[in-house]
Amino acid sequence: MTEDAPHDGELLVGDASERATFEKGAALVDMSGMLLLLCEGSPSAAFGPAVLAGPALNVGSCALEAVLLGDGFLASVPLAARTGDNELLIIDPTPRSDLLLSWLEFVSHIEQGGVRPYEGLTLKDESDSLVPFVLAGHEATATLADYVPEGQCLPEAGQVVNLDLDGRITTISMRPDLPGDTLYVLLVPPSHSRVIWRSLLSFPLVCPVGREILASRLQKRISILSLLDKTDRIRVESERLSAAGVLRTGSDFIGARGLRE
């Protein structure tokens, strides 16, 4: 957590002005401590489509993705980004992140007929290596555009790119394609996190907001996200997952058979 960031769930703007923060300005949220799982190695190209049941990811793309257990029950709905040919980043801020991590580690070591299909894949929690901020709201794009050097382009909806914030701080920046507010996830090197936090807050229309407020706002737009607040076993109908945009057609992912039985 950055020194000047709000504590988890702390509301720094009143209930009335919170809506205005998103609709007329930009909300800045410190998401420190959430799962940032980096999957590295050539097997990641096959591992990703197997464990992620949502939209297929090309290099440079990101999306919310359902992850199903073998029996079709829902593990979680993380944000996934294909950051390279042999890199996949999986982000989960919910209480289900421990379950998700355990499941992905289990799958990565699966052995079939004496063969480990994902041998050589490494899973590394980068939570201590990157500080995640979310910038969301009507003015999020304009704010971020003023903060990057000329010649660099902000990510379009569904994209992940590297941006040099303040012209010198390389930051993984993604914009998931979500209904409602424009939302950017910024993964900042820890040594520069306080600088970025304070600098973004220097923009008049940017206000700090607690993560619970952001979560509540997203849950109103994508209702299945409200299911992730608990660690109970969850079974969600395929139709509901499809309607939320986190499940693709077909059965080429783990849990597909159990989901549709």
Amino acid 16: pLDDT: 61
Rounded mean pLDDT, 109-129: 94
Say which CATH number the domain at 182 has: 3.30.1360.120
Asked whether residue 161 is assigned to any structural domain, the reply reads yes
Q: Are 45 and 114 in the same domain?
A: yes
CATH of the domain at 56: 3.30.70.1400
Contact 53, 238 (CB under 8 A): no
* Residues 48, 64 within the same domain: yes
In the DSSP assignment, the letter for residue 26 is: E
What is the full DSSP assignment across 115-172? B-TTTT-EEEE-TTT-EEEEEESTTHHHHHHTTS-TT--PPPTTEEEEEEETTTEEEE
H runs (alpha helix) in 25-65: 44-51
Instruction: State yes or no: pLDDT of 1 exceeds 60.
Output: no
Residue 71 located in a structural domain = yes
Q: How confident is the model at residue 113 (pLDDT cuts 50, 70, 90)?
A: confident
Half-sphere exposure of residue 104, counting CA atoms within 13 Å on the CB side?
36
Backbone dihedral angles phi then psi of residue 215, each to the nearest 5 degrees: -60, -45
In total, how many domains does the chain have? 2
Q: Examine the domain organization and report whether 241 and 119 are in the same domain.
A: yes
Radius of gyration in angstroms for the set of CA atoms belonging to the chain, rounded to a whole number: 18
Residues 166 and 187 reside in one and the same domain: yes
Kindly state the tokens that stand for 132.
Answer: 């995640």
Domain range enclosing 213 = 15-33+129-221
Task: For residues 122 and 134, state if they share a domain.
Answer: no
**Segment 149-159, tens digit of pLDDT:** 888 999 999 99
* Strand, coil or helix: 4: coil
Q: Are residues 29 and 133 in the same domain?
A: yes
pLDDT at 15: 61
Cβ–Cβ < 8 Å for 54, 81: no
pTM: 0.91
- If asked whether residues 177 and 240 sit together in one domain, one would say no
- Which residue intervals of the chain are DSSP H helices? 15-24, 44-51, 97-108, 140-145, 193-201, 211-221, 238-243, 256-260
Taking all residues of the chain, what is their mean pLDDT, rounded to a whole number?
A: 92
